[in-house]
């Protein structure tokens, strides 16, 4: 994460009120999603497109009339930092998570996990870290269960292969 992005996010938190931050978050999410479109990124990266045209493109995607946020986009454009928007969005999301004590994580597994099991894991991790945890299941070919909550630096895994290896090692030591 860029230090510059962190500074812009700090400025956003200082400039916008509690109620306005939700609108800022929505606007940043829209802009972040626009970076999935190759043509959008190419235009913002192009040295032959002037800053005002880039600013106009970015603001045309916004559903907000908030002058402060429009000025924020103008400031990024003026300093040639519109390409920092995905980093700004990620840092903003992180700061919102910290502020609200809510974190998202993923469960990687090749098994089907029920909603009840997911909720139980969310409660357990939430209790352990004193936070609200939301976990999303992602099917992979990982043999076992791996849980990652990146914002708080947590990774827990249970691998069947590792369990078998540890059991074999324990049995061999006992012999």
Q: Quick one: 50 and 14 in the same domain?
A: yes
Q: Quick one: 113 and 79 in the same domain?
A: no
Q: Quick one: 130 and 50 in the same domain?
A: no
Q: What pLDDT is stored for residue 155 in this prediction?
A: 83
**Greatest mean pLDDT range, 25-39, 100-114, 122-136:** 25-39
- Counting the structural domains of the chain, the total is 2
Structural domain boundaries enclosing 163: 103-174
Nearest to 73 by CA among 91, 55, 54: 55
Average pLDDT of 120-130? 86
Q: Quick one: 7 and 79 in the same domain?
A: yes
Q: Quick one: 45 and 60 in the same domain?
A: yes
Q: What letter does residue 47 receive in the DSSP assignment?
A: T
Q: Quick one: 81 and 132 in the same domain?
A: no
Final residue of a structural domain among 67, 97, 127: 97
Per-residue pLDDT for 139 more than 70? yes
CATH number at residue 70: 1.10.520.20
The partner residues of 156 in beta bridges, in order of sequence, read 147
pTM of the full structure? 0.71
Q: Quick one: 136 and 170 in the same domain?
A: yes
**135 compared with 154, residue with greater pLDDT:** 135
Average pLDDT of 54-77? 91
Mean pLDDT (the chain, rounded) = 87
Rg, C-alpha atoms of the chain: 22
Per-residue pLDDT for 164 more than 80? no
Q: What pLDDT is stored for residue 171 in this prediction?
A: 77
List C-alpha distances in Å: 103 to 30, 90, 149, 151.
20, 13, 7, 7
Final residue of a structural domain among 97, 112, 141: 97
Q: Percent of the chain scored above 90 by pLDDT?
A: 46
Final residue of a structural domain among 97, 129, 155: 97
Average pLDDT of 63-81? 90
Q: Quick one: 7 and 80 in the same domain?
A: yes
Q: Quick one: 125 and 145 in the same domain?
A: yes
Which residues lie below 8 Å from residue 44, measured CB to CB, with a gap of 6+?
54, 57, 58, 82, 83
Give CA 105 to chain center in angstroms.
10
Q: What letter does residue 83 receive in the DSSP assignment?
A: G
4-56 pLDDT, tens digit each: 999 999 999 999 988 899 899 999 999 999 999 999 999 999 999 999 999 99
Q: Quick one: 120 and 81 in the same domain?
A: no
Q: Quick one: 91 and 141 in the same domain?
A: no
**117 compared with 78, residue with greater pLDDT:** 78
Q: Quick one: 128 and 93 in the same domain?
A: no
Give exposure, 20-53, as e/b (b: 16+ Cβ within 10 Å).
ebeebbebbeebbebeeeeebeeebeeeeeeeee
Q: What letter does residue 16 receive in the DSSP assignment?
A: S
Report whether 142 contacts 110 (CB < 8 A).
yes
């Amino acid at each position: 994460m860029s230090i510059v992005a962190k500074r812009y996010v700090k400025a956003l938190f200082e400039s916008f009120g509690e109620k306005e931050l939700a609108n800022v978050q929505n606007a940043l999410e829209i802009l972040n999603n626009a970076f999935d479109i190759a043509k959008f990124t190419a235009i913002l990266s192009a040295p032959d497109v002037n800053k005002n045209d880039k600013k106009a493109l970015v603001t045309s995607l916004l559903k907000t009339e908030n002058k402060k946020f429009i000025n924020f986009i103008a400031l990024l454009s003026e300093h040639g930092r519109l390409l920092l928007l995905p980093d700004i969005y990620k840092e903003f999301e992180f700061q919102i998570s910290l502020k609200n004590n809510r974190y998202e994580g993923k469960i990687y597994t090749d098994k089907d996990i029920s909603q009840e099991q997911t909720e139980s894991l969310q409660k357990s991790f939430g209790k352990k870290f004193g936070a609200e945890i939301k976990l999303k299941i992602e099917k992979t070919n990982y043999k076992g269960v791996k849980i990652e909550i990146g914002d708080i630096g947590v990774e827990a895994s249970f691998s069947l292969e590792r369990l078998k290896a540890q059991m074999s090692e324990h049995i061999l030591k006992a012999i």
